[in-house]
Chain A
Amino acid sequence: MSNVRAKSMRTPLGRVRNLGAAHSGTGDFWRQRITAVAMALLIIPVVVVVIMLLGRNQAGAAQILGSLPIALIMLLFVIASCWHMKIGMQVVIEDYVHSEPLKLVSIMANNFFAVTVALASIYALIKLSTGV
């Protein structure tokens, strides 16, 4: 790749001009890494929380999930994982789905799925914390 670039007299901008939009910059690449690192840091607390909840009834589970530090750990994990999986699935769709209409529908469905799972989980966690 770098050899090709070295041989060409054309500037990077000149080479890509008039080829149309790339549809994505490096924003998603960066967010994919941020959310990955966040989850790598959160995984041990999350596993500990899940093990704390094993074998308890709903009242016990609700009490544990309703405590502030645990709710916060779970909220951060849910947000990071849903964001991460949305970006990841979009990459998979863009790699394998080549029909333009189907690709757009798939990417839209992917966004709906990720946002719904995230909001449902966040709503449940807030409900557990407020005890409503």
Chain B
Amino acid sequence: MILSIVHRATGVALYFGTLLLAWWLIAAASGPSAYSYVQGFMASFLGRLIVFGYTWALLHHLLSGIRHFVWDLGYGFKPNEREALTWGALIGGITLTVLVWIVAYAVGGGR
């Protein structure tokens, strides 16, 4: 039940988080100084926190969205199925976020 509003809340967060993606792409197109400014922000504690939150919001919203898609198709309405889908989205979202960040640090940290 509570997960339904989390789907909506992460959606709203991602709405504003898209500004980060746009800012980053514009900076890459603008030149070295604009790009290093964005990199500096993303490397700061606040920047890392925002990007980590964005990663979780994106992956949770994705899995939670797949859950809604299963319901749209008319499946997964039994109580145990609903529970499984909901917990799957919650645990899957957190797990995938941590996994993506481990890979990101392993690959990007070495450069």
- Listed in ascending order, the chain A residues whose CB lies under 8 Å from chain B are 33, 36-37, 39-40, 43, 47, 50-52, 54-59, 61-62, 65, 74, 78, 81-82, 85, 88-89, 92, 117, 120-121, 123-125, 127-128
Residue in A52, A58, A81, A92 whose beta carbon sits within 8 Å of that of B36 in the complex:
A58
| Contact in complex: B35, A55 (CB < 8 Å) | no
Known: A78-B25, A120-B26. 10 other contacts (CB 8 A): A33-B72, A40-B65, A51-B107, A54-B107, A74-B25, A85-B11, A85-B18, A89-B12, A121-B26, A125-B29
- Which residues of B are at the interface with A, using a C-beta cutoff of 8 A? 8, 11-12, 14-15, 18-19, 21-22, 25-29, 31-32, 34-36, 58, 62, 65-66, 69, 72, 100, 103-104, 107-111
Chain A residues with CB under 8 A of B18: 81-82, 85, 117
| Contact (A36, B65) CB under 8 Å given A61-B28, A62-B28, A117-B18 | yes
Contact present for B29 and A124 (CB under 8 Å): yes
Shortest A110–chain B CB gap in Å is 9
Q: Is the CB of A92 within 8 A of B108?
A: no
A31 and B110 CA atoms in complex are apart in Å by 41
Q: Are the C-beta atoms of B100 and A58 separated by less than 8 Å?
A: no
A39 and B28 contact, CB distance less than 8 A: no
Query: What are 27 of the A-B contact pairs (CB < 8 Å)?
Result: A37-B69, A40-B62, A40-B66, A51-B100, A51-B104, A54-B107, A56-B111, A57-B35, A58-B27, A58-B32, A58-B34, A58-B36, A62-B28, A65-B25, A74-B25, A78-B21, A81-B18, A82-B18, A85-B14, A89-B11, A89-B12, A89-B15, A117-B19, A123-B29, A124-B25, A124-B29, A125-B25
